[in-house]
Amino acid sequence: MKLATTLTILVTAFTITVVLAPIAIPLLRRLKFGQSIREEGPQSHLKKAGTPTMGGIIFLLAIIATTLITGTMFNLFTTQTVVLLLVLVGFGVIGFLDDGIKVIFKRNLGLTSLQKLIGQIIISIAAFMLLRLGTFNTAVEIPFTGYSIDFGLFYVAFLIFWLVGFSNAVNLTDGLDGLVAGTASIAFAAFGVIALFNKQADIALVAFAITGALLGFLIFNINPAKVFMGDTGSLALGGALAMISVLVKAELLLLLVGLVFVIETLSVILQVGSFKLRKKRIFKMSPIHHHFELSGWSEWKVVLVFWSTGLVVALIAVMMEAFL
């Protein structure tokens, strides 16, 4: 893929998002699709109540449009592109239903965990079946070692775990203005570059379309946010990020590229486990970004530190892929 092609994809997705957002945000506000805020959360967040949510629709439409337009233009539309869009849109629909229940019934809980899990499993299996129509490698490589483990048909279990795990990890991270939009744009850009290393221009197409759309969305999502992505956006992004790592055969590398999401998830697991076993909390609040807020960090400081962390680990991963 040429540099001009990459820039065209990025600019197209960015532009569509920036054009759609000023139309969609007032519409979401008129529909009273406002965010509910947890009473037990940081008190500084209470002022965010009512901010339009479900904004993930904005960048999802931009990603789909960009993929269809530039994919056709540059002849990059393939089965793998379809699989990526299936996961992105499928997980986005689950998030949309979850958000919809929250805003309609004015509560902070939407679909049950089981309902979301069933939907995610169905989409993951459908993606696996589409991949198996071609010659899909079911081995999982151990980064930078040359070793791999072939799961065979059991790869579907790994795929379900990977997609469900990271979609929920990104969802947990989505608690501060611009946090997920920034960290996810960095992660997708990194995998876009890795896809180019592998000469997988079709995968790079979607990765850079998502990057461009998220950068456009970030304009409206940084503090103070004019719109939140909601589960519509975060579940879609997490599923798509995991799926891209699968398609470029760098599944475990996602643990490094997505280190911020991993840490956020581990903080919740440790907090819950500690409280159940010892009746003591490790953090002031989990996910860990709230711990830093309650420790006196401003929201901007937390977000900038997490963005920086995401950028550093993404650069390390890309350089190691390039030179090892």
Tell me: the pLDDT tens digits for 244-273?
999 999 999 999 999 999 999 999 999 999
Query: Which class for 43: exposed (0-12), middle (13-18), buried (19 or more C-beta within 10 A)?
Result: exposed
Q: Taking 90 as the threshold, does the pLDDT of residue 187 lie above it? A: yes
**What is the rounded CA–CA span in Å between residue 274 and residue 279?**
7
Residue 174 is encoded by which pair of tokens? Answer: 């989505």
Contact 156, 125 (CB under 8 A): yes
Q: CB under 8 Å to 147, separation ≥6 — which residues?
A: 141
Give the confidence band of 231 by pLDDT, cuts at 50, 70, 90: very high
d(CA 46, CA 114): 29
CA atoms within 13 A on the CB side of 302: 24
List the single range of 19-23, 108-112, 206-210 with lowest mean pLDDT.
108-112
DSSP state of 192: H
- Is 45 a residue whose pLDDT tops 90? no
Q: What is the mean pLDDT of residues 288-292?
A: 97
**In the chain, where the domains are located:** 3-253
This prediction's pTM: 0.96
pLDDT of residue 226: 97
| pLDDT value, residue 49 | 80
Q: What is the pLDDT of residue 35?
A: 76
Q: Enter the tokens of residue 225.
A: 């946010």
Residues in the chain: 324
Q: Angle between the 201-221 and 3-30 helix axes, to the nearest 10 degrees? A: 40
Express as a percent the part of the chain with pLDDT over 70: 97
Q: Which of 25, 303, 314 is nearest to 173 (CA)?
A: 303
* Residue 109 predicted with pLDDT over 90: no
What number is the average pLDDT over the span 221-233?
97
| Closest to 74 in 3D by CA, of 221, 250, 248, 204 | 204
User: Per mean pLDDT, which range of 109-113, 128-132, 158-162 is the poorest?
Assistant: 109-113
Is the pLDDT at 40 greater than 70, yes or no?
Answer: no
- Binding residue positions: 171, 231
Known binding positions for Mg(2+): 171, 231
Mean pLDDT of 169-180: 97
Q: Is residue 46 over pLDDT 80?
A: no
Lowest mean pLDDT among 1-5, 215-219, 312-316: 1-5
102 confidence band (pLDDT: 50, 70, 90): confident
**Token pair listed for 302:** 């937390």
The region of weakest confidence among 29-33, 41-45, 280-284 is 41-45
Q: Is residue 34 very low, low, confident or very high in pLDDT (cuts 50, 70, 90)?
A: confident
CB atoms within 10 A of CB 150: 10
Q: Is the pLDDT reported for residue 37 higher than 80?
A: no
Q: Are 232 and 29 spatial neighbours (Cβ–Cβ below 8 Å)?
A: no
The answer to whether residue 38 scores a pLDDT higher than 70 is no
Q: Which residues pair with 141 in a beta bridge?
A: 148
